[in-house]
Amino acid sequence: MKHLLFTLISVFSLSAIAGQKMDMSCVTEYPTTSFFIREVDSTVIVEVFHHNGTGYMPIFEGLLTPNDVDGIAQKANIIKKLPATQRFEWPREKCEVQDTMVQSCFGPTEVQDQNGFKVKSWGFFSTYNSEKSFIGKTNTYRLTLDLSIDGTSYTMPMKYNANECAPEAYSSVKPRK
């Protein structure tokens, strides 16, 4: 009986999450890089806006050694030549919602010509992090877009304070009459 009850609760919980639309946005207080994710029919659209140009696009997060600097500088020179707005689309079946603000899409998108570069995305995902330290507790979201530019891999991670992200960014917008 316990197993049946657990199975039923699991199925109904998963189907509720699976039925959630991909719909969220993250924008820094003073706009730098913004993510907008929305679902239209059976397509998930991820748009990224670099408000100050791609010279300010995040291209690295983590440990950095002196040996990494030249490679990052080479990638930065390519990134600066891309347009300030990028848009990638996935079929809905390639995406999942694990929680309202924890979402992902995996699989290659169609190749786009962006200023002479062949660009596609391998995936998009968001994560939620809670960190506790001597200054208090911090909640953040990290949105990451994995790209291929002329066959070379790039990662674009952007971290936001939890208050800079919102669910249902598009479903709450009412069309003009």
Q: Using CA atoms, how far apart are residues 133 and 141, in angstroms rounded to an integer?
A: 17
- Out of 6-15, 22-31, 145-154, pick the least confident: 6-15
Q: Residues of the chain with pLDDT > 90: what percent?
A: 75
Tens of pLDDT along 161-176? Answer: 999 999 987 665 444 4
Give residue 6's pLDDT. 35
The DSSP result for 97-120, as a single string, is: EEETTEEEEES----EEETTEEEE
Give residue 1's pLDDT. 46
Q: What is the mean pLDDT of residues 128-151?
A: 96
Sketch the domain layout of the chain as residue ranges: 2-167
Q: Which long-range contacts (CB under 8 A, 24 or more apart) does 18-23 make?
A: 18/96, 18/97, 20/97, 20/100, 21/97, 21/171, 22/92, 22/95, 22/97, 22/103, 22/105, 23/167, 23/168, 23/169, 23/170, 23/171
Give residue 15's pLDDT. 37
Tens of pLDDT along 60-74? Answer: 888 999 999 999 999
Give residue 9's pLDDT. 35
pLDDT of 8 higher than 50: no
Give residue 172's pLDDT. 52
Strands 33-40 and 43-50: antiparallel
- Fill in the amino acid letter for 18: A
Average pLDDT along the chain: 86
Of 152, 161, 94, 168, nearest in space to 124 by CA: 94
Tens of pLDDT along 34-50? Answer: 999 999 999 999 999 99
